[in-house]
């Protein structure tokens, strides 16, 4: 039988970072927007109304923002991987879908969004 996975989502989490390949991106920084969708079995938490049996998305958000504001990387692909690892470090998270948006990407044409999405599973 397949593992039961419910979804917990945090969307539109904003943080300032210095990621990118251009010197001005590293120097000036820019805003990044992160969406995470976590695969978690929340039945025990719902049954017992117990936060300890699920993911504290406020504390997780603090850790994600710290990564975005932390050590710079060239690629948002690398940043997405790091954020997925933070999500999977939560013992109750079996799967993490992480999207990193770079709305101020250095593109010389009008655009709405640049984003990378990674999906990672435990084990």
What domains does the chain contain, in order, with CATH numbers? Answer: 6-121 (3.30.1130.10)
Indicate the pTM of the whole model: 0.94
Give the closest residue to 80 by CA, choosing from 29, 55, 114, 57: 114
Catalytic (active site) residue 102: yes
24, 44, 102, 122: the catalytic one is 102
Contacts of 11 (CB under 8 A, 6+ apart): 35, 36
Q: What is the pLDDT along the chain (123 residues), one digit of tens a residue?
A: 347 899 999 999 999 999 999 999 999 999 999 999 999 999 999 999 999 999 999 999 999 999 999 999 999 999 999 999 999 999 999 999 999 999 999 999 999 999 999 999 998
């Amino acid at each position: 039988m397949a593992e039961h996975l419910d979804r917990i989502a945090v969307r539109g989490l904003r943080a300032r970072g210095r990621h990118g390949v251009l010197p001005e991106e590293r120097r000036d920084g820019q805003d990044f927007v992160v969406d995470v969708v976590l695969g978690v079995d929340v039945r025990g938490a719902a049954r017992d109304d117990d936060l300890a049996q699920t993911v504290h998305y406020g504390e997780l958000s603090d850790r994600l923002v710290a990564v975005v504001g932390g050590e710079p990387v060239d690629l948002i692909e690398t940043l997405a991987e790091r954020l997925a690892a933070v999500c999977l470090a939560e013992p109750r998270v079996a799967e993490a879908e992480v999207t990193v948006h770079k709305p101020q990407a250095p593109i010389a044409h009008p655009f709405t969004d640049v984003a990378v999405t990674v999906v990672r599973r435990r084990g």
